[in-house]
Amino acid sequence: MFAGFLEAVFNGISIGAVLLIAALGLAIVFGLMGVINMAHGELMMLGAYTTFVVQNFCKQLGGVWFEAYIFFALIIAFLLTAAVGWLLERGVIRYLYGRPLETLLATWGVSLILQQFVRSVNWVLVIGIALFSLLFFGGLWILKRRTDFGRIRSLVVAVILFLSVGVAMATGKFLSETYKLAITQPWFGAQNLDVTAPSWLQDGISLLGVQLPYPRLFIIALTILCVTGIYLFLQRSSWGLRIRAVTQNRSMSACLGIPTQKVDAMTFALGSGLAGVAGCAISLLGSVGPNTGQNYIIDTFMVVVVGGVGNLVGTIVAALGIGTANYLIGSATLASLLTPVKPLADLFAFFATTSMAKATVFVLIIVFLQVKPGGIFPQKGRTVDV
């Protein structure tokens, strides 16, 4: 029984480690900008799909390339999702600051778009998007040099948008009819896809009678590396100092010359990149699908709220606590430990499913927030009193 308890705690900590990587970015973004990013789970999904693509590419190369693909996947997933996050902040969120409801609805819409994108993406769609971006943004960049651009901006945007969409759609239709299924077949589809871990991650070690799989140990080590890197970045770098300053008092930071808009964009890109790394870690625990991010987004938000908005230590404690509690309840480990106390054992046995465990933890969090609404480590600073 003791070995089973230790194994359950270890598995819970590994799940908490994934939540921690994802919640790190969300905590920074929420703490700095007050943005509730409902597309954070889909950024994790993009990181997971990136891992799948990198794995397939390295598998064709074979040898040492496949054995080291997970490291390439981590780097590419971080850069790709950071770029998507930067575009999301520049194109959508920057116009919605101070309007939390509109931000929530907009990011929720983006999450649905990203889910459908991975289900339907093919060469025709990619070529169409690339052609539209080239024509629309390239045309705006050229016409911005006109001295009277400010006066005719609305007309120019409408005309270029109409022409860019028309050319992109016509090109896509031509390619579809010419090449038929050759370039219209979806890359991923709606089904889940499996990621194969390198051979050195397909085993485990035994400690005190507990089997510790290498993938979960790798995820824990990756989490420690990410937390250390974020801490050093926030505490030892000039941009980290700017982020902390804007988090404490945005108006005063702007008065002191800190470019708050650049800080917002960089912070959102950083948080999105961490979501991509979390998605890469998730791919080692199960299959990858369009709804992968939805399985973690609620728990990630709970971690941020319970730990205290923007607090690194609180996020760590909350992530490990929620991940471990979910696994102990959902795997019936807690019910087996309480066997001598039959009423409690029967109660927790009733909740010994994944969905019921999440509901139980959610209720416990609601009770906790009634006592400490600011989380384990509430935010401090003058802006809290405003």
pLDDT by position in tens, the chain (length 386): 566 677 778 778 888 888 888 888 888 777 667 777 888 889 999 999 999 999 988 888 877 888 888 999 999 999 999 999 998 888 888 888 777 788 888 888 888 988 888 888 888 888 888 888 888 888 888 877 777 777 777 787 888 888 888 988 888 888 877 776 666 778 887 788 888 888 888 877 877 667 788 888 888 898 889 888 888 888 888 888 888 888 777 788 888 888 888 888 888 898 899 989 988 988 888 788 888 888 888 888 888 888 876 677 888 888 888 888 887 887 777 777 777 777 777 766 776 777 777 888 888 888 888 888 777 776 665 444 44
Question: What DSSP character marks residue 38?
Answer: T
- 17's enclosing H/E stretch is helix 2-33
Contact yes or no for 281/351 (Cβ under 8 A)? no
Assigned token pair, 204: 């485990």
CA distances 205 to 208, 221, 377, Å, are 10, 15, 36
**Which among 305, 271, 219 has a CA at the least distance from the CA of 78?**
271
Residues 188 and 121: beta-carbon distance below 8 Å? yes
The domain segmentation of the chain, as residue ranges, is 1-121+186-371
CA torsion angle 149 154 157 160 (round to 10): -90
Question: Which residues make beta-bridge pairs with 271?
Answer: none
* pTM, to two decimals: 0.84
Whether residue 322 contacts residue 306, with contact meaning beta carbons closer than 8 Å, is answered with yes
154 burial class (0-12, 13-18, 19+ CB within 10 angstroms)?
A: exposed
Burial class (CB in 10 A: 0-12, 13-18, 19+), 209: exposed
- The three-class DSSP label of residue 204 is strand
* 36 touches 50 (CB < 8 A): no
CB atoms within 10 A of CB 133: 12
Architecture in CATH of 1-121+186-371 = Orthogonal Bundle (1.10)
Query: CA quadruple 253, 38, 217, 73: dihedral positive or negative?
Result: negative
* b/e 282-294 (16+ beta carbons within 10 angstroms → b): bbbbeebbbebbe
pLDDT score, position 386: 40
**Residues constituting the chain:** 386
Helix, strand, coil shares, percent, the chain, to 5: 75, 5, 20
Question: Under a CB-based contact definition with an 8 Å cutoff, are residues 110 and 88 in contact?
Answer: yes
Helices 260-282 and 214-236: crossing angle in degrees, nearest 10, is 170
